[in-house]
Amino acid sequence: MLEWTAIFLAKDPEAKVNSYIAIPYNPYEPKPYERWTLKGMLDLQNELKVAEEFWDFLGNGKIYMELLNCFERVGIEIRPEIEKFFQKYK
């Protein structure tokens, strides 16, 4: 990340650069993501983006729910294929 930032700032020294830690999925949903390992290591308000906040940031708008809907539709459609795959491991 430091190298990318250096390259970006070499091209535009006045640019505003932010770096984030991103966690694309919150396994604790609907509760907030609260891993103890993050507390004290990061400025959680300014350096961490989790699930909805991360995807909406990437999509530059409210896209998280649409993304979840896409996963759900695909999961329903290919469920037999998924189940067949996991039968090998029973």
In the chain, domain spans: 19-87
pTM recorded for the entire structure: 0.71
Question: How does pLDDT run along the chain (90 residues), one tens digit per residue?
Answer: 789 889 999 999 999 988 888 999 999 999 988 877 777 888 888 889 999 999 999 999 999 999 999 999 999 999 999 999 999 998
Per residue, the 3-state secondary structure of the chain, as one string, reads: CHHHHHHHHHHCCCCCCCCCEEECCCCCCCCCCCCCCCECCECHHHHEEECHHHHHHHHCCCCHHHHHHHHHHHHHHCHHHHHHHHHCCC
